[in-house]
């Protein structure tokens, strides 16, 4: 076929027109998204304009951020009007739901303890079990937990299990089918296979919440798999952290779960009763496309700027935006002790490459970079003696701006001391200093950092 044939010229001309129109529409869409991080917007703009045949479909599938199309039907989690404060104004700008209280907190910083606690809570539930998780594995941790859920479903307990669809191939599918036959219900969040552009594959539910009878809840970084927990010790198991909490705040966690569940399958679950207030003040902070702003990001940034003595961060993936990096540098220059604890090598190579350049820059400014000797999966923040954060959000742009996440913000002295002890126990198993790099590795790291906003 000759390129000069009229029908080829017309077809090529039509494709060019459509492509140019799409570029214009998507560029205007990006410019209107004022809350999108600058680096992310620039990365998408360059990919759409310079390589439209690659950038346009990629953006249509992965680029949406806040409440688009199908996502817009999800119930919004509106911020509460009451700020959380320790009397000094430290947390007045958290921009999250109104504070509530807890009666008790148990720290699950050991995989065996976490597994045993999960089993005990499942087997002891008499009315409801509601779980949302990012990963449910078909291994010696995931299968026994599903088997325990099957037993409770057969006993007449309401069992609702919500799994993000991204890693569904990890799940024990035969056991989940048995759970459904026993009377439980299993749903997938944001199915990957759908009609074109009716959902956004980049918006994943990364929350980890497990509630039992509306009175107790497990929340934190641990998924339901052998890497995170199990029936016996394993020296290769990841270093992680979750919490078993009891009290009034469990009702707030249930609000988040019910919104996620209703979005996934349309079923409206009954609300749990709000328990009596306890002695521990806490703020439940959900973040994601169902929030009008980015409350976890806003709270972290505010806390770092207000820090006076220390900022300690633990995260498996450290790829923050420029504002967070600048806040950490300014904190060091103000005399604040800033420590960043990450794994020496995580399970995501691209994240390691992107974070290495950031860590070297921070180290040069005086930030203490601790690289844990094996995989570290905990997501925590400790600021002065006034704030500790435990949840599901990593210190990266995916968690802070794209994923559905959840975190608890505490200002109780006991919880702050307990998190401080967790850090002190973890630091000795790490090496101090940013990842070294040859000239070639530095170039690779810098290129990875350029595309980090698209991760």
- pLDDT at position 43 is 56
C-alpha–C-alpha distance, residues 314 and 307, integer Å: 16
240-251 residue pLDDT tens: 999 999 999 999
Please compute the mean of the pLDDT values over residues 398-414 and round it to a whole number: 92
Lowest mean pLDDT among 123-132, 268-277, 376-385: 268-277
- pLDDT at position 169 is 83
- pLDDT at position 204 is 87
Q: Residue 82 — pLDDT band, cuts 50, 70, 90?
A: very low
> How much is the pTM?
0.83
- pLDDT at position 67 is 42
- pLDDT at position 198 is 47
Please compute the mean of the pLDDT values over residues 19-39 and round it to a whole number: 52
With pLDDT > 70 as the criterion, what percentage of the chain qualifies?
75
- pLDDT at position 218 is 98
- Largest distance between two CA atoms of the chain: 80
- pLDDT at position 161 is 98
CA-closest candidate to residue 281, choices 414, 109, 423: 414
Q: Residue 50 — pLDDT band, cuts 50, 70, 90?
A: low
Task: Pick from 78-92, 200-214, 280-294, 306-320 the range whose average pLDDT is largest.
Answer: 306-320
Q: Residue 401 — pLDDT band, cuts 50, 70, 90?
A: confident
Q: Residue 445 — pLDDT band, cuts 50, 70, 90?
A: confident
86-121 residue pLDDT tens: 444 444 434 445 678 999 999 999 999 999 999 999
- pLDDT at position 290 is 85
Please compute the mean of the pLDDT values over residues 310-317 and round it to a whole number: 98
136-148 residue pLDDT tens: 999 999 999 999 9
- pLDDT at position 274 is 85
More reliable by pLDDT, 139 or 67: 139
161-172 residue pLDDT tens: 999 988 888 899
Q: Residue 13 — pLDDT band, cuts 50, 70, 90?
A: very low
C-alpha–C-alpha distance, residues 409 and 387, integer Å: 7
- pLDDT at position 57 is 54
- pLDDT at position 347 is 93
19 has a pLDDT exceeding 60: no
Average pLDDT, rounded, for the chain: 83
Whether the CB-CB separation of 243 and 106 falls below 8 Å is answered with yes
Lowest mean pLDDT among 16-25, 218-227, 433-442: 16-25
Whether the CB-CB separation of 369 and 342 falls below 8 Å is answered with yes
How far is Cα of residue 138 from the mean position of the Cα atoms in its chain? Answer: 22
- pLDDT at position 64 is 52
With pLDDT > 90 as the criterion, what percentage of the chain qualifies?
63
């Amino acid at each position: 076929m000759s390129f000069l044939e009229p029908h080829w010229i017309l077809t090529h001309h039509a494709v060019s027109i459509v492509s140019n129109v799409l570029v214009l529409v998507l560029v205007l869409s990006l410019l209107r998204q004022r809350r999108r991080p600058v680096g992310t917007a620039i990365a998408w703009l360059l990919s759409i304009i310079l390589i439209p045949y690659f950038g346009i479909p990629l953006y249509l599938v992965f680029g949406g951020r806040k409440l688009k199309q199908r996502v817009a039907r999800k119930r919004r989690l509106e911020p509460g009007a009451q700020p959380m404060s320790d009397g000094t104004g430290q947390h007045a700008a958290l921009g999250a739901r109104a504070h509530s209280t807890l009666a008790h907190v148990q720290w699950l910083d050991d995989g065996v303890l976490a597994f045993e606690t999960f089993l005990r809570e499942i087997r002891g539930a008499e009315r409801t079990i509601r779980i949302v998780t990012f990963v449910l594995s078909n291994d010696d941790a995931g299968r026994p937990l599903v088997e325990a859920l099957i037993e409770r479903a057969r006993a007449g307990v309401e069992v609702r299990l919500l799994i993000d669809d991204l890693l569904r191939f990890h799940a024990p599918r035969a056991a989940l089918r048995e759970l459904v036959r026993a009377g439980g219900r299993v749903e997938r969040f944001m199915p990957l296979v759908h009609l074109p552009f009716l959902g956004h594959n980049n918006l994943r539910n990364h929350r980890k919440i497990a509630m039992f009878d509306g009175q107790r809840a497990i929340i934190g970084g641990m998924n339901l798999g052998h890497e995170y927990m199990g029936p016996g010790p394993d020296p290769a198991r990841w270093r992680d952290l979750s919490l078993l909490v009891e009290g009034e705040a469990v009702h707030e966690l249930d609000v988040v779960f019910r919104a996620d569940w209703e979005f996934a399958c349309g079923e409206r679950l009954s609300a749990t009763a709000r328990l009596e207030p306890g002695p521990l003040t806490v703020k439940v902070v959900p973040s994601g496309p169902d929030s009008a702003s980015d409350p976890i990001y806003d709270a972290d940034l505010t806390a770092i700027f207000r820090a006076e003595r220390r900022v300690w961060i633990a995260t498996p993936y450290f790829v923050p935006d420029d504002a967070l990096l600048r806040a950490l540098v300014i904190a060091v220059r103000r005399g604040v002790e800033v420590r960043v604890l990450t794994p020496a090598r995580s399970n995501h190579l691209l994240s390691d490459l992107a974070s290495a350049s950031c860590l070297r820059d921070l180290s040069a400014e005086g930030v203490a970079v601790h690289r844990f000797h094996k995989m570290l999966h905990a997501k925590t923040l400790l600021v002065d003696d006034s704030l500790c954060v435990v949840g599901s959000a990593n210190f990266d742009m995916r968690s802070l701006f794209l994923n559905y996440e959840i975190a608890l913000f505490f200002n109780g002295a006991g919880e702050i001391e307990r998190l401080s002890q967790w850090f002190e126990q973890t630091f000795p198993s790490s090496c101090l200093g940013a990842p070294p790099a040859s000239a070639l590795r530095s170039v690779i790291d810098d290129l990875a950092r350029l595309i980090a906003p698209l991760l």
